[in-house]
Structure 1
Amino acid sequence: MPKIQRILIDEREVPAGLRSLTRIRSFAEIRSGILNTIQRTRESYPDATVFYSHSNPAFQQAFLERNPKFYAYDKKDVDLVLTPESCLPWNLINGTAKNIESDLELSREVQKWIRKLKVKSNHFHVVGKSKHLHVHPSATVYPGVVFDTTSGPVIVDKDVKITSFSFIEGPVYIGPNSQIDNARITGATTIGATCRIGGEVGTSVIGDFTNKHHEGFLGHSIVGSWVNIGALATTSDLKNNYGVVKIREENDDCITGSIKFGSVIADYSKIAIGVMLNTGTVVDFGCNVVSPRVSGYVPPFTWVESGQPYILDLFLRDARKIMARRNRELTLSETELIRILYESKVKK
């Protein structure tokens, strides 16, 4: 088999269903297991040269700034092309279990610490084989936590904190510096870095720096980064007639192919306390959802209840406040992408 030497991440066309999750970041940056597509590519083909192409020059420049070892596509032949279809929300949900298990073997960073690790379970309980539980030495697990590895591994990465009365059923990955409080996490679930998670979460993908810290159900859903989900907010992931779920994004209808599908909540959106999201709801980038019940498609920067858009300067001010709490800040390139998005979606 020929050696893979040139790889193209081709994002010139983003399919309906994935656009809301890729407004300012690439599909290749969505964690869909322990790793995202970029990390998986680097681990699988460490000697390959990786190129990137996007239809928006500003987006491409921002991506290459974040990934300095990648290059703008030079239009020459490549050995492997990676496209966004694998990261459509329903594909992410269906592929999470397999990705967690394969990434466990693929990730050199994870392998560094699990090879020498022997889990001491004298103060928490393991259902299933303890060899499938991997807790980083820097993580803190309180007494009264139950891990169930019967259906798949549980990986708890560095500096994670899991407090008492949490139940975690694999396959599950919990990213660095995240905190799990009195939570029930089941099914194939990925939780990103520096998240705060509580209540019930099942078969979902959660991005970095996202909070769902209180009671409420999140199921069969994809949540971006820098999202806040308030107390008792709940997603429905099954229609009353058990029909296949369709979602709407912009002017396109998408068939998920599954009767189990919850919501898509894009980056920087906020869901207020007690909000009920109907099956198949899509909340696009930068929304503030305060209505008691939401369904269908919510366009970018919508302030749901008032019917008015989120004022851009106020959105940027609020985003900077939120990010400062995690010692992060918006980059100039991210700010420019947000301004471009606002001009194209709100000020038409």
Structure 2
Amino acid sequence: MNYILFDGSSRNRLLPFTYTRPVADIRIGILTIREKWEFLLESTTSTITEDYLAEKWPMVELEENVLINASFLPNPEFLNQVKNLKPNQAIFYEEDIVAFHSFEDQEVDLESFEQLELAGEVIQVKNTWDIFSKNGLAIEADFKMLTEGRSSQPIPDSNYVKNPENIFIEEGAEVENCSLNASSGPIYIGTNAKVLEGSLIKGALAVCEGALVKMGAKIYGPSTLGPFCRGGGEINNSVLFANSNKGHDGYLGNSVLGEWCNLGADTNNSNLKNNYAEVRIWDYETEGFAKTGLQFCGLMMGDHSKCGINTMFNTGTVVGVSANIFGAGFPRNFIPSFSWGGSGGMSTYKTQKAFEVAEIVMQRRNEEFSEKDKKILEHIFEETSKYRRA
């Protein structure tokens, strides 16, 4: 069977992260949503996404196809439903289409399909804040899936360990002279990851392949350091997708960083309003500030954005793609893509300069800043121009 992951109605509520990727490539838990589905389906997937992203993530359609809403994470019951979908059957959850089975070039009329209800309790990523608020459930599910029937590398005796049966260390990982408390959730240390001396870790935590936890870091779960990320200082209930750095002292809480982000030394974000009120954050779909239903909500930062030393972010701040923030005081709690500046004012961060930085940053991790990447960022620059004042 050919499986295709489509963005669905949640895509605009997941901006700025879906400016630069399909919904399927959001990381929550240990793996991205796509990696979860491919692991369990034992099959590759392709994507239906925005036209400007389709060159990098093309759709592959065969004679028969099962299309899956990528905002829904797999569970055993749901997975079984998907594998057993028959032609012209569709799975629904409330008002969302979850999955359906169709033929190549078929004109799909879902109202004429046999409609099934989604089975089991499922995790859906509908809003940006779901990425950190549902991260604990996702880590638990991924940990069970990835470690079932396997044995962890030995935990070195130099570590203080609580609930060792809830800790898994992959081959090549290094963990010495640390506190590993897995009583409140699993701790997963990926291939060739390093957790340096003096780190204090309380699960659930995923330190993915090649990631680095700096000396003396204090990390509270549920948190994820994606592949080749760096984590230092204090981190609480936050998700870093991949190749992003929060490498120094300072606080990051109830937050999500995309890829290729960098937080300068002593960067701090607020995750709680001083009147303890519900946090509102910028909603690209309504172009206004939306209720989150959360008392704790910190920073949402899109790919390639960076901030200088001593930057302070207010509660519920949203930073777009390729922004560069610096200076004293609190910047606005919505910073458009390709913005340059801080609380004293913003100007436009020209694409030529932004691309030069992206190329240097990616080369340091032996990654190419490709023509496809440039085209995507150029599209985002134009699409988001209405939010910039200059």
TM-score (norm 2): 0.79
Distance 1:271 1:18, change over 3 A: same
**1:231: Cα distance to partner?**
0.6
Question: Could you say which residue in structure 2 is the equivalent of 1:100?
Answer: 139
Matching of residue 30 in structure 1 with residue 18 in structure 2 = no
Counterpart code for 1:52: T
Partner of 1:81: 69
Instruction: Please state whether the residue corresponding to 1:102 is helix, strand or coil.
Output: helix
Match of 2:304 among 248, 257, 268: 268
Contact 1:7 1:82 in 2 (8 A): no
**2:46·2:57 contact (CA, 8 Å) conserved in 1?**
no
Quote how far apart the aligned CAs of 1:321 are.
0.7
**Would you say 1:171 and 2:200 are equivalent positions?**
no
Looking at structure 2, the residues matched to 77 and 195 of structure 1 have their Cα atoms a distance apart, in angstroms, of: 35
**Counterpart code for 1:291:** G
The 3 A distance-change label for structure 1 pair 104 and 248 is same
What does 1:200-211 correspond to in 2, within 5 Å? 200-211=234-245
In structure 1, runs of 5+ residues without a counterpart are 65-69
The amino acid that maps onto 1:163 is: L
- Asked if 1 retains the 8 angstrom alpha-carbon contact of 2:4 and 2:60, the reply is no
Structure 1 CA distance, aligned partners of 2:153 and 2:364? 34
Relative CO higher for 1 or 2, CA cutoff 8 Å, sep ≥ 6? 1
2:333 is matched with: 296
Separation of aligned partners in 2, 1:275 and 1:285: 17
Per-residue deviation at 1:135? 1.4
Contact 2:271 2:296 in 1 (8 A): yes
Q: Deviations over 1:169-214 (max 9, x none)?
A: 1110001111111210002001101111100000011111101110
- Preserved CA contact (<8 Å) 1:119 1:130: no
* TM-superposed deviation, 1:119: 2.5
Return 5+ residue gaps in structure 2 as ranges. 73-123
Q: Is 2:261–2:305's contact at 8 Å kept on the other side of the alignment?
A: yes
C-alpha spacing 1:222/1:72, structure 2 compared with 1 (3 Å): farther
Distance 1:14 1:116, change over 3 A: closer
Q: 1:280 aligns with which of 316, 329, 344?
A: 316
Mapped to 2, the partners of 1:172 and 1:242 lie a distance apart of: 27
Q: Does the CA-based 8 Å contact 2:200-2:219 persist in structure 1?
A: yes
Relative to structure 1, the CA distance from residue 132 to residue 12 in structure 2 (aligned partners, 3 Å threshold; closer, same or farther) is: closer
1:138 aligns with 2:172: yes
Q: Which residue of 2 aligns with 1:312?
A: 351
Which AA in structure 1 matches 2:51?
P
Within-5 A mapping of 1:1-348: 5=1, 7-11=3-7, 13-46=9-42, 50-54=45-49, 56-64=50-58, 71=60, 78=66, 80-83=68-71, 86-107=125-146, 115-117=150-152, 119-126=154-161, 128-143=162-177, 145-181=178-214, 182-250=216-284, 251-292=287-328, 293-305=330-342, 307-346=346-385
Residues 351 and 381, structure 2, Cα contact 8 Å, conserved in 1: yes
CA distance in 1, matches of 2:62, 2:280: 35
Contact kept in structure 2, 1:20 and 1:284, CA below 8 Å: yes
Q: CA RMSD in A?
A: 2.3
Q: For 1:80 and 1:286, locate their aligned partners in 2 and report how far apart those are by CA, in whole Å.
A: 30
Task: Call closer, same or farther: CA 1:79–1:314 in 2, change over 3 Å.
Answer: closer
